[in-house]
């Protein structure tokens, strides 16, 4: 349990656990659904078309990653930049970024479709597709590129649903698109339709398109802040640069993975081990699955860290990062170890029957599992550093683990050990990346002694602050109100303002408990009180149903029967310089300033 003390006031992890748990389940399930969907596409290609189908999917996979790159840069970049605007309570800026994201995605869709279809034959040749494998690759890519706009646009509703406090809606869209993809792919590839490998591409894009339409309806009906707005007066190129910079680590991840895929495919062909393309197709699918789990853990972290970063609440960032590391580490280890132990069953599932290819796949899966000892920390840091405005560190990690460290390791080890050297390079690349990252963080901290272990600048913290949690009981509320006097004295507040802070704490908590957190179920309200620029701020956060004490006061102030109940809020409203309420990541957020 994370604690900070003032007298006997303590902070616990109840609120952070509830919020992170809410996002974690939705995020991991979403990424799992997508990864499993991609894996099943590959499985079906193997079942219907054999090892040539698996080889074609391996070659075509790099083009899919290019689409994921563009979608992530624009879609995730826009949502991350918008999330930071929400942390500053700048909702107009959030809507501008959303509008620009949609327009940029439309432009990217037109350009990529035109170029992809115009240079399709050259693309297949560059990927190394020959003979039947080349024919399968061309058929797949033609239909994939034709509907590529659907893959790009899915990034808009999924990411902006998360930022607007609708993580379950984002999860639903992921699961919906994945489920439809599996169903459509089986239907179109089966003898019922007989489209062959083209059916896999048609099924993928059709499922994405349906999900995009449903996602647009969800944003229109349920999102509170995500709306189109005029861009008149907006510095378009500067705003677009902000979006691209915020999304660059996510985009670089997909781009570097595309290059990684091409590199390993070429090494396997160079070793004369074409049968092992099917083995690598299996290993890539499992890698995508485990990476999806890690990205789901990191994805749940990003919107929460983004809001806290905008509020300069370093303590909450440390708390939620510790929880993510513990929970995510356990989940990732379970998936990686399970894949290694079930290698034989996976080979049968993917229809890998040649003994040499099956044995190569088993050894490759063992190396993949071992690589995530380092890979988990690397991938978690990618999402974190991107959110706290250090995208160059994120890009450094991605470049090292997927290309800069991997390429020389794979080249050297493959020459010495053959195909096993390619698999061992996965471990070496992640281990070297972790070492370089550790050295980079230490160098940055030496250059700025005010940075903490997470590279958060202590100089940006308020002059005085305290964070603690209050249980939803009357005794706990009274106790907190009495004990806060010690903080007020340390902060140099005069008796009058100290009394106002104590009154505001007690009255607001009493109203929250009476009208929102009642019913006997244990819950907590997180309190953060800080002094900055001559003012004192009280921030209340709590889970549960959305309840705005200010609106409640306005709705009941003229009711004679509610006069006594509204008196406390009335006094605070009259004394405070400002009171604001907003919903952040689906929870209540009340700020009082004296």
The DSSP-derived string for 367-381 is HHHHHHHHHHHHHHH
Cβ count within 10 A of residue 251: 23
Write down the pLDDT at residue 412.
94
Q: Which residue has 């009906």 as its token pair?
A: 221
**Cα distance between residue 147 and residue 2, in whole Å:** 48
Instruction: Quickly list DSSP for 212-223.
Output: HHHHHHHHHHH-
Residue 214 in contact with residue 62, Cβ under 8 Å?
Answer: no
SS (H, E, C) 539-579: EEEECCCCCCHHHHHHHHCCCHHHHHHHHHHHHHHHHCCEE
Report how far Cα 86 is from the mean position of its chain's Cα atoms. Answer: 16
Helices (H), 119-197: 120-127, 131-146, 148-153, 155-163, 167-189
Cβ count within 10 A of residue 334: 12
Residue 464 in contact with residue 531, Cβ under 8 Å?
Answer: yes
Residue 86 in contact with residue 163, Cβ under 8 Å?
Answer: yes
535-542/587-593 β-pairing: antiparallel
Long-range contacts of 139-142 (CB under 8 A, 24+ apart): 139/196, 139/197, 139/198, 139/201, 140/56, 140/57, 140/60, 140/197, 140/198, 140/200, 140/201, 141/60, 141/63, 141/116, 141/201, 142/117, 142/198, 142/201
Count how many Cα atoms sit within 13 Å of the Cα of residue 359 in the half-sphere of its side chain. Answer: 6
Cβ count within 10 A of residue 272: 10
Q: Is 226 helix (H, G, I), strand (E, B) or coil?
A: coil
* Total count of residues recorded for the chain: 594
Please give the structure tokens belonging to residue 149: 């706009």
Q: Is 364 helix (H, G, I), strand (E, B) or coil?
A: helix
**Torsion region of 545: left, alpha or beta (phi above 0 gives left; psi -120 to 50 gives alpha):** beta
- 373-383 residue pLDDT tens: 999 999 999 88
Beta strand ranges found along 475-546 (DSSP E)? 524-532, 535-542
Write down the pLDDT at residue 2.
35
Question: What is the full per-residue pLDDT of the chain (594 aa) written as tens digits?
Answer: 333 434 477 888 888 888 888 778 777 776 776 666 667 777 788 778 887 887 888 788 778 878 888 988 899 889 888 877 887 778 899 999 999 999 999 999 999 999 999 999 999 888 877 788 888 999 999 999 999 999 999 999 988 987 787 878 887 888 888 889 889 999 999 888 888 889 999 999 999 999 999 999 999 998 888 889 999 888 999 999 999 888 877 677 777 777 888 888 888 888 888 778 888 888 988 888 888 888 888 888 887 888 888 888 898 899 889 988 998 889 888 888 888 888 888 888 888 888 888 999 999 999 999 999 999 999 999 889 988 888 889 889 988 998 899 999 999 999 999 999 999 999 999 999 999 999 999 999 999 989 999 999 988 887 778 889 998 888 888 888 888 877 777 767 778 888 888 888 888 998 898 888 876 788 899 999 888 878 889 999 998 888 999 889 888 888 888 888 888 888 888 888 999 998 877 789 999 998
Q: CA dihedral defined by 294, 214, 79, 96, rounded to 10 degrees?
A: 180
Please give the structure tokens belonging to residue 292: 């999806």
Phi, psi of 21 (to 5 degrees): -60, -40
What radius of gyration do the chain's Cα atoms show? 27
Cβ count within 10 A of residue 126: 12
Q: Which residue has 């991991």 as its token pair?
A: 28
DSSP state of 116: H
Q: Which residue has 């992640």 as its token pair?
A: 430
Domain boundaries, the chain: 14-447, 462-593
**Cα distance between residue 22 and residue 304, in whole Å:** 11
DSSP state of 459: G
Report how far Cα 390 is from the mean position of its chain's Cα atoms. Answer: 16
Tell me the CA distances in angstroms from 346 to 228, 358, 359, 393, one per residue in order.
46, 9, 12, 35
**Cα distance between residue 88 and residue 389, in whole Å:** 14
Phi, psi of 346 (to 5 degrees): -65, -40
Report how far Cα 336 is from the mean position of its chain's Cα atoms. Answer: 20
CATH number of 462-593: 3.30.565.10
Please give the structure tokens belonging to residue 442: 């230490």
Measured between its terminal Cα atoms, the distance across the chain in Å is 31
Please give the structure tokens belonging to residue 187: 């239907």
Closest to 476 measured CA to CA, from 528, 543, 529, 523? 523
**Cα distance between residue 206 and residue 222, in whole Å:** 24
**Cα distance between residue 151 and residue 147, in whole Å:** 8
Please give the structure tokens belonging to residue 436: 């370089």
Q: CA dihedral defined by 201, 202, 207, 210, rounded to 10 degrees?
A: 140
- 196-220 residue pLDDT tens: 889 999 999 999 999 999 999 999 9
Q: What is the pTM of this model?
A: 0.70
Helices (H), 72-130: 77-87, 91-118, 120-127
- Angle in degrees, 0-180, between the axes of helices 495-515 and 563-575, rounded to the nearest 10: 140
Question: Element (H or E) spanning 466, and its range?
Answer: strand 464-471
Q: Is 345 exposed, middle or buried (0-12, 13-18, 19+ CB in 10 A)?
A: exposed
């Amino acid at each position: 349990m994370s604690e900070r003390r003032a007298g006997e006031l303590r902070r616990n992890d109840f609120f952070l656990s509830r919020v992170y748990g809410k996002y974690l389940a939705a995020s991991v399930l979403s990424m799992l659904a997508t990864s499993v969907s991609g894996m099943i596409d590959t499985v079906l290609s193997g079942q219907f078309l054999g090892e040539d189908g698996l080889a074609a999917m391996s070659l075509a996979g790099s083009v899919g990653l290019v689409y994921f790159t563009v979608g992530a840069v624009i879609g995730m970049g826009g949502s991350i930049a918008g999330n930071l605007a929400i942390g500053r309570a700048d909702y107009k800026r959030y809507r501008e970024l959303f509008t620009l994201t949609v327009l940029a995605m439309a432009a990217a869709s037109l350009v990529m479709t035109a170029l992809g279809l115009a240079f399709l034959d050259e693309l297949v040749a560059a990927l190394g597709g020959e003979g039947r494998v080349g024919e399968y690759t061309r058929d797949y890519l033609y239909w994939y590129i034709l509907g590529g706009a659907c893959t790009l646009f899915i990034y808009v509703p999924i990411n902006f649903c998360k930022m607007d406090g609708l993580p379950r809606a984002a999860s639903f869209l992921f699961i919906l698109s994945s489920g439809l993809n599996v169903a459509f792919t089986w239907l179109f590839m089966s003898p019922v339709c007989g489209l062959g490998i083209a059916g896999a591409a048609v099924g993928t894009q059709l499922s994405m398109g349906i999900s995009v339409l449903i996602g647009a309806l969800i944003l229109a009906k349920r999102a509170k802040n995500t709306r189109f707005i005029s861009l008149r007066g907006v510095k378009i190129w500067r705003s677009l640069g902000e979006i691209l910079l915020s999304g660059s680590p996510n985009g670089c991840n997909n781009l570097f993975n595309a290059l990684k895929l091409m590199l390993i495919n070429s090494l396997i062909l160079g070793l004369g081990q074409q049968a092992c393309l099917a083995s690598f197709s299996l290993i890539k699918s499992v890698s995508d699955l485990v990476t999806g789990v890690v990205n789901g853990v990191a994805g749940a972290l990003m919107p929460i860290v983004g809001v806290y970063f905008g509020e300069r609440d370093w303590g909450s960032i440390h708390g939620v990062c510790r929880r993510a590391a513990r929970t995510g580490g356990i989940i990732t280890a379970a998936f990686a170890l399970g894949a290694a132990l079930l290698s034989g069953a996976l080979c049968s599932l993917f229809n890998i029957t040649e003994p040499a290819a099956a044995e190569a796949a088993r050894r490759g899966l063992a190396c993949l599992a071992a690589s995530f000892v380092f890979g988990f920390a690397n991938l978690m840091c990618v999402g974190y550093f991107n959110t706290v405005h250090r995208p160059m560190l994120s890009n450094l990690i991605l470049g090292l683990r997927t290309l800069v460290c991997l390429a020389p390791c794979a080249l050297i080890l493959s020459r010495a050990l053959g195909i096993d050297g390619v698999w061992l390079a996965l471990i070496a690349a992640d281990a070297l990346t972790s070492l370089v990252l550790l050295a980079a963080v230490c160098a940055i901290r030496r250059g700025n002694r005010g940075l903490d272990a997470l590279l958060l600048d202590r100089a940006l913290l308020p002059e005085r602050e305290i964070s603690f949690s209050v249980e939803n009981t009357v005794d706990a509320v009274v106790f907190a109100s009495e004990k806060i006097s010690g903080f007020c004295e340390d902060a140099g507040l005069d008796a009058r303002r100290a009394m106002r802070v104590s009154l505001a704490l007690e009255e607001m908590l009493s109203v929250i408990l009476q009208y929102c957190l009642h019913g006997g179920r244990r819950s907590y309200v997180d309190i953060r009180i800080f002094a900055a620029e001559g003012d004192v701020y009280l921030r209340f956060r709590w889970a549960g149903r959305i309840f705005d004490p200010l609106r409640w006061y306005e709705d009941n102030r003229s009711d004679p029967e509610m006069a006594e109940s509204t008196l406390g809020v009335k006094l605070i409203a009259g004394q405070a310089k400002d009171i604001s309420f907003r919903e952040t990541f689906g929870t209540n957020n009340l700020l009082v300033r004296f």
